[in-house]
Chain A
């Protein structure tokens, strides 16, 4: 039963029509900018360039991918009314949610990892990013599940959660990590940056803003891991409880 839920969700997310655009995006945008970055920042080392491209593009696209794929975990079923078939089956609702979430998280992680590889190939011409790439992939996996948990919860709370998720992914996650004091800790991106440990942008405030590292972020990698895993687990549990407790009916006014 669990397998069926997981693989069906995986199959849905891996449909060529849905999956291919993200791959094309990774190749065109991340690889393209990785390749061009030497023109924009000629004095920077390869490691710095990779870190910059990864922070600016890979991590922001990660949030975007997660917002689009994860916020629809249930809302799409509700909108197309197929939720009825799922909630009247002898399967606990929390399992429905959890295994769909896991499948979605896996796909988002894969896409994020692919983008990180594109960035590495774009900057180094190979997988030369090595340790930085490994750390990035770890941060991406953690981020995929943390973002996913948050967006899934928003999707359960609100009818039209996608706009909120997108604003969060591009507004909140770009601005809040750059805020002074403790505010930056209210952003998932700050924790992911702590895990990824990209080279500092030095005094370059502008790049600091775009890479979401202009705030007073003093988090260590281990704190980043613990906080994000705790955050994801707590939100998934909350979402499971929410979905098991409240009514989810097909929307008659779905538009």
Chain B
């Protein structure tokens, strides 16, 4: 047990460790409790569902009007709709809000601990660096994933009950499984990136500023490339591969790319109206699965590793 020579490290506990779940889960719970106490978390979470709300209204009104029309379903906008693309579009529209949620929940997660020197407290408990990282990661991942999951599932169930006659089920019977994969993407990426950025700073505000800077600047690249793609397509020009690749070179782009791969679609126009072949061509095509998934995983794993390497059990005086 204890040696006659004093242990001068911060870790004094050398008894048996509880099963890991108790340790990282305690940290995750604490992080989530802090996030969900913020009013902004609930406000932005609600806003993030807005596109589903708009779609619900459009579908409901359209369906009601179609029922009143002698031609019925023949003229309905819902006819020929690519259902999985509606989830992709709803996700795209919610990205700004998810970014704000990540900013609220993740930017200060390690930075605030650095400032308060709370890392020393955490790591003086029977809790490893890995427990800490996993706990913090889950503390960001779970809230964001819940925010993406709940409206998607509600919308899915509503469509399943109401629009089977428009091909909701027959078009893609595996859609629910795909959706369950899709909803994990934002949480995974945001948790990894914010954790990495947060670990580099001692102030949540600075970490948030850097994260916001990275997000907006890279988002602008995506926006720019989307426009260039549209312009070139409309002008009948061949779109160079660099445009399509750069479209995915952002935090938003990475997620959209992954979602397109999971849903196996290029996407369709935001509003559920049929614009013909051109509208389909104007969508930036799905990225290469074999290159993109490893890239996504490397970015996430690299970010978590960076955070892990930054966490020190002792106070380092520089």
- Whether the complex brings A and B within 8 Å at their CB atoms is answered yes
Q: Mark A165-181, 1 if CB is under 8 A from B, else 0.
A: 01001110000000000
Query: Interface on chain B toward A: helix, strand, loop, or mixed SS?
Result: helix
Cα–Cα distance between A255 and B37 once the two chains are bound (Å): 13
> Which of A70-94 touch B at CB < 8 Å?
72, 75-76, 79-80
Residues of B within 8 A of A229 (CB): none
Tell me if A79 and B205 are in contact (CB < 8 A). Answer: yes
Q: Mark B203-242, 1 if CB is under 8 A from A, else 0.
A: 1111011101100110111011001101110000000101
- Distance in angstroms from B115 CB to nearest chain A CB is 8
> Which of A33-75 touch B at CB < 8 Å?
33, 36, 39-41, 56-57, 60-61, 64, 68, 72, 75
Residues of A within 8 A of B108 (CB): 255
Q: A61-B217, A80-B203, A210-B223 are in contact. Are A68 and B230 (CB under 8 A)?
A: no
Cα–Cα distance between A171 and B220 once the two chains are bound (Å): 11
Tell me if A60 and B203 are in contact (CB < 8 A). Answer: no
**Residue of B208, B221, B230, B240 touching A206 (CB-CB under 8 A):** B230
> Which of A155-212 touch B at CB < 8 Å?
162-163, 166, 169-171, 204, 206-207, 209-210
User: Any chain B CB within 8 A of the CB of A134?
Assistant: no
Closest B residue to A57 by CB, please name it. Answer: B220
A–B Cβ pairs within 8 angstroms, 25 of them: A21-B213, A29-B217, A29-B221, A33-B224, A40-B232, A40-B243, A41-B228, A57-B220, A60-B220, A76-B205, A79-B203, A80-B203, A162-B212, A163-B100, A163-B208, A163-B212, A166-B216, A170-B216, A170-B219, A171-B96, A204-B231, A206-B227, A207-B227, A255-B34, A255-B108
Tell me if B203 and A76 are in contact (CB < 8 A). Answer: yes
Closest A residue to B231 by CB, please name it. Answer: A206
- Distance in angstroms from B171 CB to nearest chain A CB is 31
> Which of B103-132 touch A at CB < 8 Å?
103, 108, 112
Best-surrounded residue of A61, A75, A162, A209 (most CB of chain B within 10 A) = A162
Tell me if A68 and B209 are in contact (CB < 8 A). Answer: yes
- Distance in angstroms from A178 CB to nearest chain B CB is 13
Tell me if B216 and A64 are in contact (CB < 8 A). Answer: yes
Cα–Cα distance between A70 and B224 once the two chains are bound (Å): 26
Cα–Cα distance between A209 and B216 once the two chains are bound (Å): 17
Tell me if A39 and B240 are in contact (CB < 8 A). Answer: yes
Closest A residue to B239 by CB, please name it. Answer: A40
Tell me if A162 and B209 are in contact (CB < 8 A). Answer: yes
Tell me if A255 and B112 are in contact (CB < 8 A). Answer: yes
Tell me if A68 and B213 are in contact (CB < 8 A). Answer: yes
Residues of B within 8 A of A25 (CB): 217
Residues of B within 8 A of A61 (CB): 217
- Distance in angstroms from B180 CB to nearest chain A CB is 30
Cα–Cα distance between A65 and B96 once the two chains are bound (Å): 19
Residues of B within 8 A of A21 (CB): 210, 213
Closest A residue to B202 by CB, please name it. Answer: A80
**Residue of A56, A76, A255 touching B224 (CB-CB under 8 A):** A56
Cα–Cα distance between A173 and B75 once the two chains are bound (Å): 40
- Distance in angstroms from B71 CB to nearest chain A CB is 34
Residues of A within 8 A of B204 (CB): 255
Q: Mark B261-280, 1 if CB is under 8 A from A, else 0.
A: 00000000000000000000
Residues of B within 8 A of A169 (CB): 216
Residues of A within 8 A of B208 (CB): 162-163
Residues of B within 8 A of A162 (CB): 205, 208-209, 212
Tell me if B216 and A36 are in contact (CB < 8 A). Answer: no
Closest B residue to A18 by CB, please name it. Answer: B206
Cα–Cα distance between A39 and B237 once the two chains are bound (Å): 11
Cα–Cα distance between A68 and B203 once the two chains are bound (Å): 14
Residues of A within 8 A of B227 (CB): 206-207, 209-210
Cα–Cα distance between A126 and B203 once the two chains are bound (Å): 40
Residues of A within 8 A of B205 (CB): 72, 75-76, 79, 162
> Which of A206-242 touch B at CB < 8 Å?
206-207, 209-210
Cα–Cα distance between A169 and B220 once the two chains are bound (Å): 12
Q: A25-B217, A64-B213, A162-B208 are in contact. Are A210 and B203 (CB under 8 A)?
A: no
Cα–Cα distance between A128 and B240 once the two chains are bound (Å): 27
Closest A residue to B215 by CB, please name it. Answer: A166
Tell me if B212 and A207 are in contact (CB < 8 A). Answer: no
Residues of A within 8 A of B232 (CB): 40
Cα–Cα distance between A151 and B208 once the two chains are bound (Å): 16
- Distance in angstroms from B316 CB to nearest chain A CB is 16
Residues of A within 8 A of B103 (CB): 163
Best-surrounded residue of A40, A60, A64, A171 (most CB of chain B within 10 A) = A40
